[in-house]
Amino acid sequence: MVKIAHLALAELTRVECPNFETAQANAGSFLEEWNAVQEHDFECPIQIYAGHIFDSEAATFLPHRVLTVSEASGLIIDVQAYDPLEIEANTAKLFVNSNVIDLRSQTVLPGFVDAHVHLFLHPYSETSWEDQLTKESLAERTIRATVHAKRTLLAGFTTVRDLGTEGAGDADIALRKMLSGPSPLIPGPRYFCANRAIVSTGSYGPKGSLVLNKEGIDGITGAEVTDGVEGCRQAVRRQIGAGADWIKVFLHHYRIRSRVAPTSFVTARTSMSTFSLEEIKVMVDTAHRAGVKVAVHTQDKETINTILTSPELEGFRVDSLEHGINFEQPHDADRRRWDVAPASSAKPVIWVPTLSAFYTSGRYEGGPWASLVNAFRAALRDGFEDIACGGDTGVFAHGDNALELCLMVALGASPVQVLRWATFGGGLRCRYIATSGDLQKYFNSAVHKKNIIL
């Protein structure tokens, strides 16, 4: 969105430096002047004149605002109203300056946050999950991830949370390094990563067909396998030590009894809990003690109710709930218990429904899409607002992240609600973007990547 003007060289050309002969004759004076130039603050703040801005916290559109942005940090340091008639009268003079940007015909808003992506995966319609893990090299998957990062940014998603490399090991930590700092090597969003997800023995994949009781294929596992209280504690500590921003835990899964499919397909697809309450408590406690948050993958109603309302987990609440196909907002008595914040967090559990993943791959007869739609609509009816936008992007194409926002509106949420969930609800920091579309009248078009301005 912001055109950065490199002013240091321009400032130097305006300094009256002595010529070569004078410099030789008076080196001390030259060096003093040179050092003064080097120490001079060259920053010239960037001003962005927006037709409207979206205030995520207040969930409202504010007309005719000028944003002042620090060139050095990229942070917004001031927002003020402006008189459109006065600016129109001075257009010829005002917008000649390269540090003044005219977005009066656009809406400026915080960059979107996709709270559930997998940059090291690409659509299952192209290549199955198992084949991606076992037939694509780590180099190939990493190169794909760099392409996915760029596509995500160009779609207006300036922050993402990657909830597992799915067999690509620690590659997300290295990718974060390449995306970070004042001189990133590749373009992409601000990147929060969860390294390997944590699963219990026998509950995940890929699963071989020859040695049935062995985890993974050719040493490749889709997550980190661990069991028992001490094993869970060590797994969390190991991932935090590796550099993870979040801990991702599978509290249930449908692959546990997948090998009985030839005799009972229903049993093979049944989701089951994978960790005990004591194992959950130690993982949450260990992460929170280190200032790291916990996201949990869960779908069945019993597990969801347990992690949200169980008295035994009081003080050990997770930070986000992923998928939650059979999610139900707790009743008032339980809700009060849910909102009692653990010592390490003052925020409620955030639900990330990942509608897009099930819309693109779960709309078969008896599939999970219908249940998730019912759960989402019930949450809307109950006035539930602790929601973040995350599509499980990677299951479908990177760059199409806005599908999640469009599905939420299609299922009954208001555009303003969804914009708030996509920018503020995720609890992750974000940059600003602009759209040339009308977010209130033509939401789907306005959030489409073709209308996004960075």
- How does pLDDT run along the chain (454 residues), one tens digit per residue? 333 332 222 222 233 333 444 444 554 555 565 455 444 455 689 999 999 999 988 889 999 999 999 888 778 889 999 999 999 999 888 988 889 999 999 999 999 999 999 999 999 999 999 999 999 999 999 999 999 999 999 999 999 999 999 999 999 999 999 998 778 999 999 999 999 999 999 889 898 887 877 888 888 999 999 999 999 999 999 999 999 999 999 998 666 777 777 787 777 677 778 899 999 999 999 999 999 999 999 988 888 888 888 898 888 999 999 999 887 765 544 443 334 333 334 468 899 999 999 999 878 877 889 999 999 999 999 999 999 999 999 999 999 999 999 999 999 999 999 999 999 866 665 667 778 888 888 898 988 888 888 7
Q: Exposure of 284 by Cβ count < 10 A (0-12 exposed, 13-18 middle, 19+ buried)?
A: buried
Structure tokens at 184: 């990133």
- The pLDDT value recorded for residue 329 is 61
Among candidate residues 281, 286, 352, 283, the one with its CA nearest the CA of residue 310:
281
Cβ atoms within 10 A of the Cβ of 442, count? 13
Domain residue spans of the chain: 46-110, 112-431
Q: What is the CATH number of domain 112-431?
A: 3.20.20.140
Q: Angle at the Cα of 345 (from 344 to 346), degrees rounded to 5?
A: 140
Q: CA–CA separation, 169 vs 221, rounded Å?
A: 9
Among candidate residues 395, 415, 394, the one with its CA nearest the CA of residue 405:
415
Q: CA–CA separation, 325 vs 212, rounded Å?
A: 30
Label the pairing between strands 198-199 and 224-225. Answer: parallel
Label the pairing between strands 293-298 and 198-199. Answer: unpaired
Structure tokens at 412: 């009954």
Enclosing H/E stretch for 190: strand 190-193
Cβ atoms within 10 A of the Cβ of 60, count? 12
- The pLDDT value recorded for residue 339 is 41
Asked if 275 and 197 touch (Cβ cutoff 8 Å), the reply is no
Q: Do domains 46-110 and 112-431 have the same CATH topology?
A: no
- The pLDDT value recorded for residue 285 is 97
Contacts for 116 with CB less than 8 Å, ≥ 6 apart:
161, 163, 322, 352, 354, 390, 391, 392, 393
Among candidate residues 185, 198, 395, 363, the one with its CA nearest the CA of residue 292:
198
Q: CA–CA separation, 382 vs 384, rounded Å?
A: 6
Homologous superfamily of the 46-110 domain (CATH): Urease, subunit C, domain 1 (2.30.40.10)
Asked if 12 and 37 touch (Cβ cutoff 8 Å), the reply is yes
Q: CA–CA separation, 434 vs 437, rounded Å?
A: 9
Q: CA–CA separation, 103 vs 434, rounded Å?
A: 8
Cβ atoms within 10 A of the Cβ of 261, count? 12
- DSSP percent split of the chain into helix, strand, coil, nearest 5: 35, 20, 45
Judged by phi (left if over 0) then psi (alpha if -120 to 50, else beta), residue 193 lies in: beta
- The pLDDT value recorded for residue 35 is 57
Among candidate residues 303, 294, 248, the one with its CA nearest the CA of residue 274:
303
H helix count then E strand count, the chain: 18, 17
Q: CA–CA separation, 13 vs 17, rounded Å?
A: 9
The values of phi and psi at residue 159, to 5°, are -145, 135
Label the pairing between strands 100-110 and 432-435. Answer: antiparallel
Q: CA–CA separation, 400 vs 391, rounded Å?
A: 9
Asked if 395 and 118 touch (Cβ cutoff 8 Å), the reply is yes
Residue keyed to tokens 């060139």: 71
- The pLDDT value recorded for residue 156 is 95
